[in-house]
Each structure stands twice: as structure tokens, then as C-alpha cells.
Amino acid sequence: MFKAILIEKQDKGQQVAIQTLDDSQLPEGDVTVRVECSTLNYKDALAITGKGPVVRQFPMVPGIDLAGTVEESSSAEFKAGDSVLLNGWGVGEAHWGGLAEKARLKSDWLIPLPAAFSARQAMAIGTAGYTAMLAVMALERQGVVPDRGDVLVTGANGGVGSYAIALLSRLGYRVIAATGRPQEAAYLRELGAQEILDRSELSEPGRPLGKERWAGAIDSVGSHTLANVLASTQYGGTVAACGLAQGMDLPATVAPFILRGVTLAGIDSVMKPRVERIEAWRRLGELLDPAQLDAITQTVGLDEAIDKAGELLKGQVRGRVVVSMQ
């Protein structure tokens, strides 16, 4: 028996509650994991609150991230006692996820837990930090190096934004943080931001081209914000897009692309091949100070996660939320 957050479909929406389930109810997979920690991402919050079409089949255990210990395995890749990590692969959407004391998964979805991190630290990073690392790597591949100019991070107070700032700063970039919570300026500067920008400067309809302000950007907001970020990117710059907090639309023109040679790099963390996942986590182990993770992380129990998901969607959560099963 194990406890899990279970989302069930009802005629007038969905019901979400912590339930005690039997191991026989676990979905198919060749590895069973005793989950130590999971986390709350924006996607998890949408699934739990029902405010976004995240869940693709019911009933569903949400949670797109997990870290824990292999309990049983019929895969040659892993054995009982191995510490493992999972991000994405449709887990928490089409396959039962990590907001539970147990998970049964496909071995292809798992990677070894990096030696640099404990399970809690890995979940403090989670998909948010992993996605931020993928975005930084995309900027690097396009030649956006520190001496090219500033890098903008939108949604700076969120999980992806927080880690993007910390990683970029560690690599020597001058970071501009765009936020709707100016009262958090000290927190953002502590992470490494050197300039704070009010998100209102970017969130409304703007001009096709603006003043060239940054060599690169990591955007987790989308919509008008992404359009304005593109419009103010320097010649030959790159914007890594990895989120849609403001919306899925992109009310932009082709002007930044054909007049300034700007590159828009899409960042997908869900289906990323294993070799690239392992490299991203290796880089995270090199760049992040495990002690710094505490500054951007709060830990809650499974019984607190449902309420915390609502707070996250309301923009009331700073940084990362780890959900501990202990």
C-alpha cells in the first residue's frame, strides 16, 4: 500500500485527494521506485487544479518529476537499491507520476541520480532547473557568450527563472531579471541578477522592433512578453523559449528574424534524449552549489501539496517547492 495524490474525472470537473492505493493499481513498467521526493511545477499545478488540459487520462497521479530508490527492476539498466531520477516523458500526464510514495516506470525514462545531489536537492532543481540548463546550453550553442552582452530572464521569480539567473551568473553573464514582483528584487540580486526590469515593460502589445537591449534571453512567459523580448534582442542574438505563463500565442512579426538575424530556440525538456539529459544534469552538478539550493526551495509534505498547487498558480510561490514523502 502507498499514498498518492489521485485526480479522478467527474461529470462536473475533477476530484483531487490523497488516497491509499494498492501496488496492484500501479501502471505498467519495468522499474518500481520508492519515491523519496517529488516537486511542484507549473504543469503539476495546472493538473491538480484542473485549470489546464494537462491530464490526458484518468485516474491520474500527477507529478512530472521524481527521485528515489529502485525497489524492483526487470531491466538490465537498473537494480534494486539504485538511486534514480526522472523528468518528463509524459509522466503525471499520461502515466502515473511522482506525487506518490511509489511509481512504476519504464527504465528508458530514468537516469541515475547524479552523485552531486541528494534526492531532495535533485527535486529542488527538478524540471525547472533542468529546463533552465537546457536553455543556457541552447544560448551557448548559438554563440551567446558573456562578452556578447546582457541576457534577459523573464518570469524571474519562478523556478525556471530562478535557476536560469543562478546558472547564467555563475557562467559570467550579466543578467537582467524581469519580474512582476519588485519586492523580490533582493532575492533576485542574491541569485546573481544585476538589473531588475518590471514585467509591465514587456507584457503589453509592443512594436515590431525595439531598441537592441540584450544579446540573449530565456523566456518562460510567452505571448506578448516573448514578442517584445524578440523585438529588443540584439543583432544575431538568441532567445530560448521554454514556457507559456502568459499564453501560448506569439503576437510577433518576422522583423526580428529577417532584419536582425535573431534566433528563436525552442526548449523541450519532456522528450529530450537520455544522452542530453545526462549532460544537462552533469552541467548542473558542476555549476550549482548544493547549499545555494536552500535559498530557492521550500519543502512540504504530500498532504500540503494540493493547497500549494493553488498558491503556485496565483503567483504566491517563490522559487521551488519540494514534496517530501518522508
pLDDT of the residue at 316: 82
Q: Take residue 152 and report the three cell numbers written for it.
A: 534577459
Q: 173-203 b/e with 16+ CB inside 10 Å = b?
A: bbbbbbbebeebeebbbebbbeebbebeebb
User: From 3.40.50.2300, 3.40.309.10, 3.40.50.150, 3.90.180.10, which CATH number describes the 2-116+291-324 domain?
Assistant: 3.90.180.10
pTM value? 0.91
Domain boundaries, the chain: 2-116+291-324, 126-266
Architecture of domain 126-266: 3-Layer(aba) Sandwich (3.40)
Which distant-in-sequence residues (6+ apart) come within 8 Å of 184 by Cβ?
157, 318
Q: Do domains 2-116+291-324 and 126-266 have the same CATH topology?
A: no
| Sheet containing strand 263-266, strands side by side | 193-198, 175-179, 151-153, 214-219, 233-241, 263-266
Residue type, 209: L
Residue type, 291: A
pLDDT of the residue at 33: 98
In sequence order, the β-bridge partners of residue 10 are: 13
Show the DSSP H helices in 142-222 as ranges: 159-170, 185-191
In order along the chain (326 residues), what is the average pLDDT of each group of 10 residues? 94 91 96 97 92 92 97 96 96 97 97 94 94 98 97 93 94 97 91 96 96 98 98 98 94 98 97 94 93 82 95 83 93
Strand bridging mode 263-266 / 233-241: parallel
